[in-house]
Structure 1
Amino acid sequence: MDFSSNDAVLQTVLVAFAISTIISAIVILASNKFHIFIDKIDTLKPQGFHSIPTPRSGGIGIFLSFFVSFLLFKEANLYFLIAIAIIFCSGLLEDFSASLSPKTRLLIQLLGSAVAVFGMDISITNLLPILALPYFLGIALGLFGIIGVCNAVNIIDGFNGLAGGISLMAFISIAIVAFILKIDFVFLSCLIGIGASIGFLVFNFPKGKIFLGDGGAYMLGFIIATLLAILTKESSGISAWFGLSIMIYPVWEVVFSIIRKKLKKQSAMSPDGKHFHMLIHKKLKSNPLTAVAIWLLNLPFMVLSVVFMQNAWMLIAICGAFVVIYSVIYTKLNKSSS
């Protein structure tokens, strides 16, 4: 598809937006009518800050946006679509039956990631200026990174607009870089992601009429991580540090949570009320404002990541600065809430 005109860009975004919006509206009506994919207020789910039963199937609209848009614009990559379907199903089954163990979900995610990594020849070898990995280790890092970001986005999916908004910001950031570097597949995918995310957010923010659910969160994390890996592979001027700096918030949330729980001798998989977004919520006492506050915290880091997209040392510094600022804010919020 020729993206040299603004019309083509706008058309792509609008098609994805329309599909996502229409499907989300249908899913909300169907979920409430047939009582499927409903997140009840008395269940221990990630979206535990709502007062009425709400559908957790927002990923369906985003999923269909990618499938239909790729087919309409005849730019589909079969391996990418198959991988998206597998990853989406790993969460959708959980949303539907809540019967999959964490190990089973990880195995399904590994399968989906492997389809993308081997089918699209994705590897993350460029960690310069620190080191360059051999190909086989780059494959392993690609698998690990994609699965990690899948679960990272799922962890931050706790408030209206939070995961969807962060994903939208990531799609916009990656789209800018892909446009500058003329990597058309990544650019097209980001345009679809932008439209689909906005279509979902119409119902998710600020009122929370529908949630992403595990399927939607895993899928968005997978798509973003895969596009970042392709961007790194297709451009010798972009290192993996760009991907980390773009997704530093959800990634560090996972790493910090593991460290925090291990220090307390808790299982890394056990849920608790000490995630960063939960502490922000205790302070602001507003579901949508919690998402807005975290959007604003992330915005300068994403902007700086794009500005310094080819300066690996600056990208590393951006990641380090975020970790420091996050840790300081977390410590103060945790003390005030104790």
Structure 2
Amino acid sequence: MKQLQGMLAFVETATSGSLRAAAERLEVTPAAVSKSLARLESQLGVRLLNRSTRRVALTAEGQRFLGKARAALRALDEAVADVTQAALAPSGRVRVSVGMAFGRRWVLPALPALAQRYPGLSVDVDLDNRPVDLVASGFDIGIRGGLIENSSLVARRICHLPLVLVASPRYLEQAGVPQTVDALAQHRLLAVHFAGAPPTPWRFRKPGARGARLHFTPEPRLSVSDPEALVDLVLADAGIAQTGLSHALPHLRTGRLRLLLPELHDPGSREMVLHYPHRQFLAPRVRAVVEALLEHFRQAADLHLTVAQVLEALPGAAAEASPARRSPARPRASVER
């Protein structure tokens, strides 16, 4: 395959944004990368990248070629891995970046079996809620939740992340159970915030309007940077919060939390995703950790529950309506169609 060297140089340069970064990832000199690119462009008869001393930019032809080149290299990588992986014992260091709450509850429990299965592996897990650039920070694997957009990373879906509104029974006895979206403004509201991210609005289905959604932007009395800390505040009778179903589930089962407005609240379309950089020859050490974690997540039944399934299994999980004990609500919900 005459173009292989050039395709590797092209994809790595387009992904990293510079010849120097591509050279470091390919373990060659920038001059070698430039030469491979020039040879590939000569063979194709088109310019794929516009280069300057500081940066590179894809041409229109390069943009079209990039996706196909990545797909071809991934296919080659998988073919080689299928033949050789069985003969290679994974070994070496694998760096994993994951949010604190998900990491503690779902990733850390998978590590003892992983270490026993692959004694040559060293797994370094970084628990941090801040967004991270996997390539720039040197991570092999990232696990994050949210609205997943297209990127230059390989993305493997772990599960959906339905959101729920919750409060403690004691708080609801004192403050009353909100029966409408606008009634939420009468209550003490809690929220989680992440560095560099705008406040997350709470979304609701609009009664009688098919497909319409209400956006309610809470004005939290208390906010924290960790989802588990948010649940701790709710358990301490501090107020009402929107949180992931997986965080609330253990406490819904014990009766320490109640679901609010489940017939109106929109669980959203967030997902938890495992992703890693596009590497043409994914190291066996990384592949072993990826597949072991995904298998662990597949077997975790609680990760894949929906709100409807929880309500069916736990009929008492939804708070029963009771009169609110506060002043009239101040409408703050906007309609999205």
Normalised to the residue count of structure 1, the TM-score between the two structures is 0.24
User: Which structure has the highest strand share of the two?
Assistant: 2
